[in-house]
Structure 1
Amino acid sequence: MAIEDIRWRSNFTFVMVALAATLGLGNFFNLPYLMATHSGGTILLLFALAKITIALPLLIAEMWMARRTRAIASVAFTCLAEAHKLSNIWIWFGRLFWFSAFGLLAYYAVVTTWGVVYTWQYSHVSSFEIEQVWFQFQTMTRDVPTLLLTQTVLFGVLGAIMLLGISRAMQSVAIIMVAVLLSIILSMFVVMSLNAEYISSLGAFLTVDFSNVDQSLVFVIWQHAFLSTGLGIGGVFAFSMFAPKTVPIMKSSMIIVVIDYLFGVLVALVVWYFIYNIPPEYTNGVELFFQSILIGAIEVESSYFLLPLLFVVFVISTSMALMFSMLPVAIAIRSHFHLNFRVSVVLTLVSVWGISAICMLSFSVFYNHLWYGMTIFEVVSYGTTHILVPICALGVSVFVGWRLASGNLEKDLHFKRTFYYYLWRLLLKFGVTCFLFLSVLANLPSAWQLSSDWQMLLVLGLANAVSARFVFGVNILTMGSPKVVLCRRF
């Protein structure tokens, strides 16, 4: 069966595949840390609001684009731009998804490999002192032969699953893995709830206090809500392009966002307890999760038995996110270069393996090769998650929210009430667009930073430009039209 003829078996299968692509790495990091360092109840309320106002509108837009064109991100922009006689500049927004996908896959591959090795080596370290745990983790990140061998085996397993076929393997794996993830993390929360000390501290920790909430905290929570939903990387396009016409986009999107939120909350309620017990001098970027779980558990001896289970959850989650994030890249390679799907999967695996291997070497061989004070791994992870991904998502919000005719959208999305449609369009056009634009500006390297006044002027200028449907010099800069490889005509 050709990829173009595949359909998910049912609406339930579609939702499970979508959840498999969203219940991933992002849920294990920022939210638990924010809860451990701020009022937990306040963080959860703001996180829920961010999911509704940022993640949900953008998820609906990406799902609609994919199902409407039945194509990957780069081709979807091309199809819709041609169908609505819009500028060719949108084609290049679609192509940016390629770069964000490869960067994020390399990041996933490194952290997933860390998780596998960490699970194997450090699940029983109750005798270690805090300094030893810190030293052992730093040593692990420099053990290149072990990491590369583990990553190669991991890629072989993921590749074998993908090569079995999207229609057969992906649907089954999605249903099983989502059920396993939700069951394990829920079981862990129930087990921890039996600890009286944990319950007493949790009750006090979840109080709501807005006195310490400032603009920067709100921005960080909104950014986490956006990234943890897996938007702006092409994954939504990959699983939505196979959705049957009967799938209600609005309802499915709401189910996905709600379950993703509840999963993130459960993870945070388990992980924050460990992070809360870690001395601040041992926190360091992406390694925070690994170090805090072990160090925090050593500080709280009754939590030792949860370590193996927590790492299993983490490894399953990151491995699943890695596999489903590879899907859009493999489909893109197959579509653009007219290759067999199996060949496309192999090329994707080899390419991502090579990029992630270089990232791993940045902790040893290339440790002194810095750019703006960051290692290669940090440049790839930061540049992808904080710059490329928001730019890709910004292209979606402006394109769907501002450039496409309202009538077609309202007809295709089947909102029960016109009010809900206009509310969604309002959030997408103004809330999501302005947030993503500010996110890109705020995360540029310090040497390129603009003052807050200039950032606000640029936001207002962007709103004025897109509302007037005017882009200066676009036709001159984008003469010519790239060849459309896969495009369903409307």
Structure 2
Amino acid sequence: MQRDHWTSRFGFIMATAGSAVGLGNIWKFPYMAGAHGGGAFLVLYLVCVLGFGLSLVIAELLVGRMSRLNPVGAYRKVAGGAWPAVGALGVFTAIIILSFYCVVAGWTIAYLVYAVEGTLTPTRAGGLDALFDNLIGSGLTPLLYAFGFVIATILIVARGVGRGIERASKLFMPLLVVLLLVMAIRALTLPGATDGLWFFLKPDFSALDGATASAALGQAFFSLSLGLGGLITYGSYMSSQQHLGRDALAVVLLDTGIAILAGLMIIPTMFAAGMTPDQGGPGTTFKVLPAVFASLPGGHWIAIGFFALLVLAALTSSISMLEPVVAYLVDERRVSRTKAAWLAGAVCMMLAVPVSLSFGAWQGVTLFGMTLFGLFDYFASNLSLPFGGLMIAIVVGWILGPKAIAAIGPAGSTPGLWAQGWLFVVRFIAPAGIVWILVQGLL
């Protein structure tokens, strides 16, 4: 069976950056920056991304390109032994994440509809708090939106790498950047937005502490979609002539640039509305920000643009969650791509039912003191993803070692001194950072 491949370097960068760009870039990064000192957090985040995250992105892409296989097959080929179990954990985690990610994406689609209808105003009956609570607790409605989101993901992935993932990413990613630029420019023209701009861009290093360092390190890790196996899968479609370091840097810079644009959009907007940007997650996104938008000139269009952004970001990320599962079924089980996409998507939709109901009829059902949504999120974010990142660092840094350096450049080239520095980071600095993230997650 001939393996799919990227048709262009631009397509690869758009797709791989899209895998990293998700809801966390648009809603979590501005909150983290707002809660941890603004500019000081931004500087530390950039240091972590370039000094830590970039090395792991290269490592995952390298394993994928060396193996030309899905995460399970990749670990088997480059490391052998029991290492394929690590790839299997990544595939399993992708299903788990997509099953609750699609629920949140469904809420986002619903709010885009509300924004278009013009009903996202604090004066509506019951207010915005009641609107959100009624949506997530209504049973069928959020599930229909979640199913629609998963089906859209399936249809893109089923078309393959070149005709599906790459083509969609070439459309969605530039559109997302344009929307973000327009929204950020609009935010910066609001009265009072200048205070938010200086808060975000002017570092106050007296605000730095251990909590800020942990937050920046964790955000750098999770914002790049590390530890999941998606980058291994995307790397398996790369040409042997592509320069891993250069292309990985382009991906990381694009992902980081989008997070910064999101900060330039959200933080000045919050300041303009007389609020502090230290609230995050669904509470701010679905309850607070619509009220903020409604209080601003042109708020109706701002709300439409914002939720359209969220839908696009969610979709580019969900594609990379489904693809490792599909690649596993195609490579290891010899299932056709179309059947694999629908099978994996169906499993995600089945799991999404109890996840969504954990906000409504099954709210009282808990495991280990958490709702199913909370349990899935905790397992993925606190355990599986950091563990996966640690394992890729060990495989590349210690099992492959010098072989990784030899394979990092385009075929026939000799890697420069930067490759030695990269291997040092993967061997020593990256594992230390990931262990810190694991410990913080467990605590």
TM-score by length of 2: 0.92
User: Which residue among 249, 272, 277 is the counterpart of 1:254?
Assistant: 249
For residues 150-207 of structure 1, the C-alpha deviation after alignment (integer angstroms, 9 at most, x for no partner) is 2223333332233333321222111111111111101111222332421344235532
CA contact (8 A) 1:109 1:151 kept: yes
> Equivalences for 1:306-317 in 2 at 5 Å?
306-317=302-313
| Deviates most, 173-182 or 13-22 | 13-22
Seen in structure 2, the aligned counterparts of structure 1 residues 190 and 254 have a Cα distance that, compared at 3 Å, is same
Q: Any idea what the Cα deviations from partners look like across 1:282-320, whole Å, max 9, x if unmatched? A: 957444322232133345566443111110011111022
Contact persistence 2:157–2:322 (CA under 8 A): no
Identity %: 20
Going from structure 1 to structure 2, the CA distance change for 1:278 and 1:104 (only over 3 Å counts) comes to: farther
| Contact 1:39 1:206 (C-alpha < 8 Å) held by counterparts | no
- CA distance in 2 between counterparts of 1:386 and 1:122 reads 34
Aligned length in residues: 437
Instruction: Classify the secondary structure of the residue corresponding to 2:370.
Output: coil
Partners of 2:211 and 2:249 lie apart in 1 by: 27
Q: Deviations over 1:255-282 (max 9, x none)?
A: 1111111111001111224555587899
Match of 2:254, SS? helix
Aligned-partner Cα distance in 2 for 1:380–1:357:
13
Q: 1:198 aligns with which of 187, 193, 196?
A: 193
- Counterpart mapping for 1:331-346 below 5 A: 331-346=327-342
Gaps of 5+ in 2: none
Tell me how large the CA RMSD over aligned residues is. 2.4
Alpha-carbon distance change, 262 to 42 in structure 1, aligned in 2, over 3 angstroms: same
Matching residue within 399, 402, 419 for 2:398: 402
Of 308, 321, 327, the match for 1:325: 321
What's the CA shift for 1:346? 1.0
Q: Deviations over 1:34-62 (max 9, x none)?
A: 22234321121111111112210100000
1:171 and 1:236 map into 2 onto residues whose CA distance is 14
- Write the mapping of 1:88-487 to structure 2, written as runs, cut at 5 A: 88-122=81-115, 124=118, 125-128=120-123, 132-275=127-270, 283=279, 285-298=281-294, 300=296, 303-406=299-402, 408-414=403-409, 418-444=416-442, 449=443
Provide closer, same or farther for how the CA distance between residues 91 and 201 of structure 1 changes in structure 2, counting only shifts above 3 A: closer
Is contact 2:70–2:233 with CA below 8 Å preserved after alignment? yes
Normalising by structure 1, what TM-score?
0.84
The 8 Å contact of residues 270 and 277 in structure 2, kept in 1 or not, is answered as no
Consecutive unaligned residues in structure 1, runs of 5 or more: 83-87, 450-490
Q: Hey, what's the Cα distance between the residues in 1 that align with 2:59 and 2:274? A: 40
In the alignment, which residue of structure 2 is the partner of 1:30? 28
| CA spacing shift, 1:292–1:422, aligned 2, 3 Å | farther
SS in 2 for 1:357: helix
The residue identity in structure 2 corresponding to 1:258 is L
Q: How far off is 1:370 after superposition? A: 2.0
Letter in 1 for 2:90: F
Q: How far apart are the structure 1 equivalents of 2:426 and 2:57?
A: 10
Summarize the Cα distance change of 1:32–1:284 in structure 2 as closer, same or farther, 3 Å threshold.
closer
User: How has the CA–CA distance of structure 1 residues 163 and 30 changed in structure 2, closer, same or farther, with 3 Å as cutoff?
Assistant: closer
Local SS of the residue matching 2:83: helix
Q: Contact 1:390 / 1:436 at 8 angstroms: preserved in 2?
A: yes
